[in-house]
Copies of this chain bind each other. A is one copy, B any other.
Amino acid sequence: MNPVNLKLLAQKLNLSIATVSRALQDSHEVSMQTKERVKALAAELNYQPNAYASSLRRNVSKTIGVVIPEVNNHFFSLAINGIEEVARQQGYHVLIYLTHDDHDREADITQYLTGGRVDGLLLSVAASASQDFSHLQKLYDSKPAIVFFDRVYEELPTASVTTNDYESGYLATRHLIEAGCRHIAHLLVSGNLSIGRMRMQGYRAALESHGLTFDETLVVNGNDNDEANTQLITDLLRQRPELDGIFASVERLAISSYQACHALGRAIPTDIKVVGFSNLGVAALLNPALTTITQPAYEIGREAATILLRAIEKKLPILPSQSVVLNSTLFPRRSTARG
């Protein structure tokens, strides 16, 4: 494509390719004089090193992969912001792959990535129904550096960046109980991931420590289809008229809950109260303002990328002990106001 390469520079300068290469890397083995000559010409001809040749030779790509369920979700888009920020600072490129919470897509993608295309990987596991994580095991065996964030597959001995999901689940549920709820549904998408289990345990513990009984039929699994979710919630609301609280474990389910309530004419917070995990910037502007558990998404992205890039640069393995747990924050708003 662009025929400006080391060979061309070397010819024009009557130097060897080796010297030109070294000059551009500020090697001490090259005299100041030649360095300047080389750099001047390189700048003039707008020389850009061929990334692939360099990656091939050095076995280092200066590229990280980010594998996430979706990007149209404030949590993940904020996380990407954080990731891109630190990657750019350190001269890394960011490849994005979306799984749409589909197991097979995730397997395909991770399969791709065993080929050395990336130096490291940030992964937030798909919340599919499948219990099969062999693709992640395979990926791990091909040993790129991996850091999980938010949605972790715990069996791999690597680091992860998560939030205090158990406490958050507990807090959200207690908040509803204290607002007067007695029949609280729990909506989630990632029941078979640790994140889902933790939030669930928090929910359950809060119920039980307040003398409420845990009812399995009030736990509903959604997916990534908003209409289907809204329908699911509508059905639930109809079948269980005693329901007076909803704890949505993920943003889209909180939104669907609003939609279902609007459709059925259930007033929030009078008839039913809603709290949801969400990074929606406009939560406070909703009708009514949505009480949220908000994760520090941007910081999670930064933190995960930092751990990953540090390990790559120092060529050290990533240990589970480097894991970080950040705290989410509960923002009480109208949707859970008393009376």
* A contacts, CB < 8 Å to B: 1-2, 46, 48-53, 55-56, 59, 61, 63, 70-74, 77-78, 80-81, 84, 88, 93-98, 105, 111-112, 114-117, 138, 142-144, 226, 255, 258-259, 262, 280-282, 285-289
Q: Residue of B at shortest CB range from A81?
A: B72
Contact A95 B98 (CB under 8 A): no
List chain B residues, Cβ under 8 A from A81: 70-72, 98
5 closest A-B pairs (Cβ-Cβ)?
A48-B115, A287-B287, A52-B55, A52-B56, A72-B77
Tally of this chain's copies? 2
Docked pose: A48 CA to B142 CA in angstroms? 10
Of listed A81, A88, A115, residue having the most chain B CB within 10 A: A115
Candidates B71, B93, B287; contact of A285 at CB < 8 Å: B287
List chain B residues, Cβ under 8 A from A98: 81, 84, 88
Candidates B2, B70, B105; contact of A142 at CB < 8 Å: B2
Q: Residue of B at shortest CB range from A56?
A: B52
Contact B74 A1 (CB under 8 A): no
List chain B residues, Cβ under 8 A from A258: 282, 285
Contact A115 B282 (CB under 8 A): no
List chain B residues, Cβ under 8 A from A93: 95, 112, 117
Candidates B78, B112, B286; contact of A287 at CB < 8 Å: B286
Of listed A55, A78, A288, residue having the most chain B CB within 10 A: A55
Question: 23 interchain pairs (CB within 8 A)?
Answer: A1-B59, A1-B142, A1-B143, A2-B114, A48-B111, A51-B116, A52-B55, A63-B95, A71-B77, A71-B80, A71-B81, A72-B77, A72-B80, A81-B98, A84-B97, A93-B95, A93-B112, A93-B117, A94-B96, A255-B285, A258-B285, A262-B285, A287-B287
Docked pose: A97 CA to B144 CA in angstroms? 22
Candidates B49, B55, B142, B281; contact of A255 at CB < 8 Å: B281
Docked pose: A117 CA to B53 CA in angstroms? 10
List chain B residues, Cβ under 8 A from A51: 115-117
| A50 CB → nearest B CB, Å | 6
Q: Residue of B at shortest CB range from A334?
A: B287
| A269 CB → nearest B CB, Å | 13
Of listed A1, A72, A73, A111, residue having the most chain B CB within 10 A: A72
Contact B61 A72 (CB under 8 A): no
Docked pose: A72 CA to B78 CA in angstroms? 6
| A114 CB → nearest B CB, Å | 5
Contact B56 A53 (CB under 8 A): yes
List chain B residues, Cβ under 8 A from A114: 2, 46, 48
List chain B residues, Cβ under 8 A from A78: 72
List chain B residues, Cβ under 8 A from A96: 80, 84, 94-96
The answer to whether residues A116 and B71 also contact, given A56-B53, A255-B285 and a CB cut-off of 8 A, is: no
Of listed A97, A105, A143, residue having the most chain B CB within 10 A: A97
